[in-house]
Structure 1
Amino acid sequence: MSEYLVVLTRRSIKWSKLLKGKGKVQKNVKLKRYVRKGIPNEHRGLMWMAASGAQEQLDKNSGYYQTLLGAEHDPKLVETIRTDLNRTFPDNVHFRKTSNPCMQKSLANVLVAYGHHNPAVGYCQGMNFIVGYLLIVTRDEEKSFWLLEALLGRILPDYFSPSMLGLKMDQEVLGELVRLKVPRVSQTMSDNSVTWTLVVSRWFICLYIDVLPVETVLRIWDCLFYEGSKILFRVALTLIRHNEALIQQAQSLPDICQTFKQITAGPFVEDCQTFMQRIFTEPGSLPSTTLTKLRATCRSRIIAEEP
């Protein structure tokens, strides 16, 4: 950590020079390089808002969030959300009922507002953790609402819809990518009849929250908001490829499940600086055209298999 603090201080000075107090940013190669090396905490909210298009939506829809909060709420939705509040980061000081202010109230507000903004999704488990992270970074309900809208509406469409088609599709896509890039792991999965959903659904649905260490997750999200969902595959492929030998040793379904829990802990993922460098080298090239084709194939297959 002491080494990482030196890196953070250096990055912070560079970012302050780059932004020069500007509230707007222009996407370019230099900025992408900066984002991949990590956004300092003090600029993170601003950058996520700008890069994801959330700021643009907030500016276009001034007062919309307050209108949603002021409208009549569906009691069933409110009750479902309320049930999950205490389960959201119970160990985090900001989410304890004794805290002042306690973020549980803001968390409930953002989730209820989003449930009414997008009734097709409403509320799904997993969304509470995502909004919790957004609130910790932005300390702002309205910004968190628009960042959630950017994630669920544009970056990860259909992840949280009732059928969760986007989520199922991307897990299948990961399976195809592993077959192409780490064939021996793919073979181990087939030999033991293990579906990808079984071992990676939590990675994707929680966007690595409570799967990887906090600082590593924030660094992944920096790239997710800037570059899109491709980052989720880069992270998954790096974890799998780096632990290829370990996964191959697994002899049964329980063994494989245990190994996949194991590979998300330890020094490799705790050193977020090195880990983030590896996600852009270890999986090799990952063209958007390849992802688009794989998604179309997997989507058709899932729809065809549904009763």
Structure 2
Amino acid sequence: MAPCVDAIILILHSGSCEFRNVGGAEEEEEEEEEKRSARRTSEQASLRRGCQSKRILHPGVLRPRPPASVTAPPTVPVGRALVRAASCALPNTRRRKKDFSSSESVSRLQRDKEMLMEEVKAQKELVWLLHKTLEATQLERPAGVDFVAAEGERERPELLRHPLGRSEQVAGNHLDRKDPRVAQLRERVRELTEKNHAKQEVILKLSDHVAAFPPTSASSVPDTIRQLQQRVEDLKDDIEAYKTQNKFLNSEILQLTKLWRKSSEQERSLMVKCAYLEAWCCQAESRYLGVLRKLQENRSLAPDQQRTIQKIVEDALEGQTKNVNATTRILHDEYGFKFFPDYEVEDVKLLAKIQALEIRSHNLLQQEDRERPLLSRWAQYLAGRSDEDFCHSPELKGLLRAGVPQEYRQSVWRSLVRSRTRTVRERHPQRYQQLCDKSRTCPHPASRQIQLDLHRTLTSNLHFSSPSSPAHQQLQRILLAFSWQNPSVGYCQGLNRLAAIALLVLQSEEEAFWCVVAVVDAIMPQDYYSKNLLAAQADQYVLKDFLVEKVPRLAAHFDLYGVDVSLVTLNWFLVVFVESLPSDILLPVWDAFLHEGTKVMFRYALALFKYKEDDILKIRDGADIHQYLRFFTKTITDTRKLMRMAFVDVNPFPGRLLRNRRALHLERLLGELRELEEQQKAFAALDDDPSQRRAGDPVTDDEEMS
């Protein structure tokens, strides 16, 4: 800033000297004028150079070019002084020139005027340059303050060396205050810079890694390339060979597939033909046995003829059994149940055998038409569904009522059982193994009764017919484990049949155990298998009520001949029809029972009576009715008809009505049980106090001795 001030002082001094020397001679005046003009020109040039050097010293300051219409600010003090000096010098000049001639004075005045105008113009330009220099100096003031405030000697040279950076920082802070987006852009620039540094570090590491490898000689490179090319050619040859081999194998597989499909179709047609032939044989044998039965009932035959007919009947029954024993597949189904059940009553063996043959013939003829659509429906339902994804739905309910195909029954039963025992199993995942270990170390009080009932369980089934069968050991472990699992029930006769049917279908001890737990604890009412069978007895009264409503003629027929159906139906309900129905009907009953509960038992019990209603009404003797009720369930021929009666004909069958009637009869039975207990206590009190005995009461041996 000092060169500019010196220039201003010099200009003012020269101006004052100029005004003092105006009164000289013309020649001197002209010379002085020329000198002054030259001096002014040099001074203006020196001022411009000083300002330009000032601008060079501070390149960080942006100096905008002054617009054409902008003049020097009138408020600058230096400009006003110059104007006043010029205005004061003008009258003095005019007074001194009065002595000269008018023409010379005019010309001289014009020259002075022009010179003054040029000088004023130059002064205005100088003032404008000084104003801009002052602004630049004000902008540089923070840098000077920082320089003075710098603590270390090393920071001051840095501030002098980088004035541009400081100016940029000041301008940047100003821009940050005005435009928030600038801060975002700066942050982005910083992130990109960091990424660039990270990439450079990675490149350096990779370069060091590459440099660590030994250099490869130029001669080995072509050899390596030739080896790789040879390897590629070999692989191409292998690919072509594999393609040829693949085409050959595909053609072989296609031919084998065609042969397999053809053989499968032939096998299917042969199986259908065999089924038709077997059905025809069953029908022929049934008609033959029917003729023998009619001859046996003919009382007009002579005794010799009757004995001959009886012998023929016995031979027919024995011969049929021998023929069937020739192949186990014809004798038993997939679960080991006999197609032709055994009967203990000699009088009904022939009739039962005829009906069994009719059932077998009917099943063989209807098997293909019934199982194929059902199999496709189950396959569609189970597609993509896990064992845990069995929720109650109308679709599942309808499928279970129609029956589960043998291919899917094991997995479906396992899912149904797990849905009812999920909480207990999650809480005790190793429960069955723990109970088995406990059974081995600590004998259960019911182990003796379980051992006796093992050989009475499903004696006609192939898997339980032999005393040394492994199924007996599995069944024993299941029943002992359940006895420890449910101490209030322990063991009850009938549980062995439930465990046996579960073991045959589920093929697993643990799954069969949990199936028994689900039936006793989750499906059946409480106290169903207790010592007094209280809930089971209540269900018999409920069944009689439904029998009066749904099959009134048959209920009146039973009352007429004094037939108590509970003598037969109690066993049905305790074992859920095991050993009472043929396997092709029993298993569909269990399919629906595991899902819907005890309501299925009532439906099928009513359907069985309704199915044979006409045949039972023909029997006019109470003993014969009881005898017929013992085996008539095994003579059902049309499974579809029975299902339709169970789930359609007996409707409506609301579950709320069943629960209300069960509670009503259970309360009545509890009252009767309490009365019976009170009577027992009264009789016990009489036995303890002989003086209270009435006259005519029997006397014990102890009393006679006393």
Give TM-score scaled by structure 1 length: 0.91
Structure 1 counterpart SS, 2:387: coil
AA aligned opposite 1:31: L
Cα drift, residue 257 of structure 1: 0.7
2:374 corresponds to: 11
CA distance in 2, matches of 1:304, 1:195: 22
Aligned runs of 1:284-295 on 2, under 5 Å?
A: 284-295=651-662
Post-superposition Cα deviations, 1:78-109, rounded to whole Å, max 9, x if no partner, equal 1211111111122322222454xx21111001
AA aligned opposite 1:23: D
Answer whether contact 1:54 1:143 (CA < 8 A) is retained.
no
Tell me the matched-pair count: 303
Answer whether contact 1:234 1:280 (CA < 8 A) is retained.
yes
User: Structure 2 stretches of 5 or more lacking a match?
Assistant: 1-362, 677-706
1:63 to 430, 440, 449: 430
CA distance in 1, matches of 2:442, 2:371: 43
Cα drift, residue 123 of structure 1: 1.0
Whether 2:621 is the aligned partner of 1:246: answer: no
CA RMSD in angstroms, aligned pairs only: 2.0
2:565 corresponds to: 196
2:640 to 254, 270, 273: 273
Structure with the higher helix share, 1 or 2: 2
Answer whether contact 1:219 1:276 (CA < 8 A) is retained.
no
2:387 to 23, 34, 48: 23
2:590 corresponds to: 221
1:230 corresponds to: 599
CA distance in 1, matches of 2:421, 2:367: 30
CA distance in 1, matches of 2:535, 2:594: 17
Range that drifts further, 297-306 or 187-196 = 187-196
Whether 2:212 is the aligned partner of 1:212: answer: no
Structure 1 counterpart SS, 2:446: helix
1:111 to 475, 479, 488: 479
CA distance in 2, matches of 1:274, 1:183: 20
Whether 2:546 is the aligned partner of 1:184: answer: no
CA distance in 2, matches of 1:181, 1:295: 17
Answer whether contact 2:421 2:518 (CA < 8 A) is retained.
no
Whether 2:32 is the aligned partner of 1:32: answer: no
Whether 2:490 is the aligned partner of 1:122: answer: yes
Answer whether contact 1:120 1:162 (CA < 8 A) is retained.
no
Instruction: Say which one has the larger Rg.
Output: 2
**Quick one: higher RCO (CA 8 Å, sep 6+), 1 or 2?**
1
CA distance in 2, matches of 1:15, 1:134: 21
CA distance in 2, matches of 1:41, 1:63: 29
CA distance in 2, matches of 1:33, 1:41: 17
Answer whether contact 2:608 2:642 (CA < 8 A) is retained.
no
User: Structure 1 stretches of 5 or more lacking a match?
Assistant: none
CA distance in 2, matches of 1:90, 1:244: 30
CA distance in 1, matches of 2:585, 2:516: 20
CA distance in 2, matches of 1:107, 1:51: 21
Range that drifts further, 34-43 or 184-193 = 184-193
Post-superposition Cα deviations, 1:136-164, rounded to whole Å, max 9, x if no partner, equal 00011111111111111121122211111
CA distance in 2, matches of 1:16, 1:59: 29
2:452 corresponds to: 83
Answer whether contact 1:58 1:143 (CA < 8 A) is retained.
no
Answer whether contact 1:238 1:279 (CA < 8 A) is retained.
yes
1:154 to 516, 519, 522: 522
CA distance in 2, matches of 1:152, 1:302: 21
Give TM-score scaled by structure 2 length: 0.41
AA aligned opposite 2:669: I
Report the CA distance shift for 1:59/1:276 in structure 2 as closer, same or farther (over 3 A).
farther
Answer whether contact 2:446 2:491 (CA < 8 A) is retained.
yes
Cα drift, residue 55 of structure 1: 5.2
Cα drift, residue 287 of structure 1: 0.4
Report the CA distance shift for 1:121/1:130 in structure 2 as closer, same or farther (over 3 A).
same
Whether 2:495 is the aligned partner of 1:132: answer: no
AA aligned opposite 2:499: V
Cα drift, residue 256 of structure 1: 2.3
CA distance in 2, matches of 1:75, 1:27: 38
CA distance in 2, matches of 1:130, 1:204: 11
Whether 2:647 is the aligned partner of 1:283: answer: no
1:260 corresponds to: 629
Report the CA distance shift for 1:98/1:10 in structure 2 as closer, same or farther (over 3 A).
farther
AA aligned opposite 2:549: L
Cα drift, residue 294 of structure 1: 1.0
Answer whether contact 2:414 2:506 (CA < 8 A) is retained.
no
AA aligned opposite 2:590: W
Range that drifts further, 191-200 or 160-169 = 191-200
Cα drift, residue 293 of structure 1: 1.4
Report the CA distance shift for 1:90/1:243 in structure 2 as closer, same or farther (over 3 A).
closer
CA distance in 1, matches of 2:431, 2:503: 18
